[in-house]
Amino acid sequence: MQRSDILQAAAQAFRQKGYHAASMQDIADAVQLQKASLYHHVEGKQDILLAILDHALDLLITDLEEVVATDLPPDQKLRQAMHAYVGRLTQDADLAAVLLLEYRSLEPKARAQHIRRRDHYERIWRDLIKEGVQANIFQPVDETVATFALLGVQNWMITWFKLGGPLTAQQLADRFCDLFLHGLLTSEGHSKQ
Amino acid sequence: MQRSDILQAAAQAFRQKGYHAASMQDIADAVQLQKASLYHHVEGKQDILLAILDHALDLLITDLEEVVATDLPPDQKLRQAMHAYVGRLTQDADLAAVLLLEYRSLEPKARAQHIRRRDHYERIWRDLIKEGVQANIFQPVDETVATFALLGVQNWMITWFKLGGPLTAQQLADRFCDLFLHGLLTSEGHSKQ
DNA sequence: ATAAAACTACCGACCGGTCGGTAGGGAAAA
DNA sequence: TTTTCCCTACCGACCGGTCGGTAGTTTTAT
């Protein structure tokens, strides 16, 4: 039995029931341990949540920094970043769902610290958009709004996407990216504007 | 003291703490009643949650059906729908946040029923997109993906948007809509494709 | 007078967490 | 080589506290 096994089981439980509704007993059952034995590996329930959130954010930051370090043009960087992000959200779905939906359950101190790291991650995305705008590849949009829109589309995916459905994660990332790059309107739609 | 006062206070508590972390005592304090007195107006905690979700969905469905009943062109219908949606999400923020984030806490039976109604609501959006595609105003995108993208951007807004910030809700709806209709790429960006 | 609305007091269940204790394997001491 | 020791991993039992909910009574308003 390893600490990481407990974190994984906890992530699954937190995702399914939510942090407060999932009990330490649920987690213990999932790893076939007595509840008391969990405290040999972790300090408490909050400790588990914090470890999950830190780990999830670590993965995402690593992924994204790999992409922005390339010398691809901005629109292709964006596509790569979306592929990586959607990939993580589907591959490590439990971790991702807890990151996006359960960070509210952190106690104020830890939450403030976590939010600072999350903002740093969002700034990397915003800089990616800004790079495209300054290169005149992207239109002069409000970078903050565009970033939240981009992240919103992808984040909301975790609430409805099911592996094994009609689309793979990579196909979905491509369609999201196409939508963002080209928009909905046809030339006919444009001419009517 | 009216039932609706309790529902409003409960929505606020559920939004701030989450359904399970918010206690009946919290709700009672907010309406300056003893906890036991709540049970004169509502059947229980689940009853409160269900009433909030039903009410929130009622408002959204009414808003959206008003828009689709007009004879505006599809792209303008979309803009109107987004204005109405973003308006609700910011005006009735407590209701909306509970609708989008706390429906998971419904017991299985009620949840299944609620999800059916929510799917009906999403189908109205999808039909709106489909109408634009068939009129050749929108590109032949996958209507389901486009709908989830559209709703995702707007739904995620409730996690970061603050009234009194640099943008009003209506300005934000417009920027979202522009992004969706025209996309990010400039003509320079297109020429490089 | 009477019914609605609020109160006080209480319940069983479950929560996160702690306690003392133990099985067993490897290191240290004889 | 054998015995002592210690450490990791785990367990059953239990703690104080909080939860949603109920019973019975008093206050308030018509």
The per-residue pLDDT for A192 is: 55
Contact A141, B175 (CB under 8 A): yes
pLDDT higher than threshold 90 for residue B151 = yes
Q: State the nearest residue by CA to the C1' of C6.
A: B37
If phi > 0 it is left, if psi is from -120 to 50 it is alpha, else beta; for residue A23 that is beta
The per-residue pLDDT for A179 is: 97
How many CB atoms neighbour CB B36 within 10 A?
Answer: 9
Q: Phi, psi at residue A163, to the nearest 5°?
A: -60, 145
Q: For residue A59, which amino acid is it?
A: L
Interatomic distance B36 CA / D24 C1' (Å) = 12
The per-residue pLDDT for B144 is: 98
- Contacts of residue B73 in chain A, CB cutoff 8 Å? 192
Helix axes B169-182, A143-157, angle to 10 degrees: 80
Taking only the tens place, the pLDDT of each residue in A2-33 is 999 999 999 999 999 999 999 999 999 999 99
If phi > 0 it is left, if psi is from -120 to 50 it is alpha, else beta; for residue A62 that is alpha
The per-residue pLDDT for A13 is: 98
Binned at pLDDT 50, 70 and 90, residue B188 comes out as confident
Q: Shortest CA–C1' contact from B1: which nucleotide?
A: C5
Both tokens of residue A161?
């996407």
Q: What is the DSSP string of B24-46?
A: HHHHHHHTT--HHHHTTT-S-HH
Average pLDDT over residues B74-97: 98
Contact B148, B121 (CB under 8 A): no
Distance CA A57, CA B172 (A): 28
| Chain position carrying tokens 């101190």 | A109
Both tokens of residue A152?
């919103």
Helix axes A74-91, A169-182, angle to 10 degrees: 140
Of A136, A138, A185, the CB nearest to B138: A185
Scanning every residue of chain A, which has its alpha carbon at the shortest distance from the alpha carbon of B169?
Answer: A145
- What is the distance of C-alpha B12 from the center of its chain? 15
Distance CA B42, CA A42 (A): 40
Binned at pLDDT 50, 70 and 90, residue B192 comes out as low
- Contacts of residue A136 in chain B, CB cutoff 8 Å? 186, 188-189
pLDDT higher than threshold 80 for residue B190 = no
Distance CA A58, CA B114 (A): 36
Q: What does DSSP assign to residue B126?
A: H
Q: Shortest CA–C1' contact from B46: which nucleotide?
A: D20
Long-range contact pairs involving B119-122 (C-beta distance under 8 Å, separation at least 24): B120/B61, B121/B57, B121/B60, B121/B61, B121/B64, B122/B147, B122/B151
**pLDDT averaged over every residue in chain B:** 96
Contact A157, A172 (CB under 8 A): yes
Both tokens of residue A180?
């963002």
Q: What does DSSP assign to residue B138?
A: B
Residue A185: strand pairing partners: B138
Q: How many contacts does A have with B, using Cβ atoms within 8 A?
A: 145
| Chain position carrying tokens 């094994």 | A164
Long-range contact pairs involving A33-37 (C-beta distance under 8 Å, separation at least 24): A33/A1
Distance CA B56, CA A54 (A): 34
CB contact under 8 A, B153 and A154: no
Contact A38, A6 (CB under 8 A): yes
The per-residue pLDDT for A6 is: 97
CATH no. for A44-191: 1.10.357.10
Both tokens of residue B54?
């039903």
Taking only the tens place, the pLDDT of each residue in B24-67 is 999 999 999 999 999 999 999 999 999 999 999 999 999 999 99
Distance CA A175, CA A159 (A): 17
Interatomic distance A95 CA / C18 C1' (Å) = 29
Binned at pLDDT 50, 70 and 90, residue B79 comes out as very high
Distance from CA of A129 to the nearest CA of B (A): 9
List, for chain A, all residue ranges whose pLDDT scores fall below the cut of 50.
Answer: 193
The per-residue pLDDT for A129 is: 98
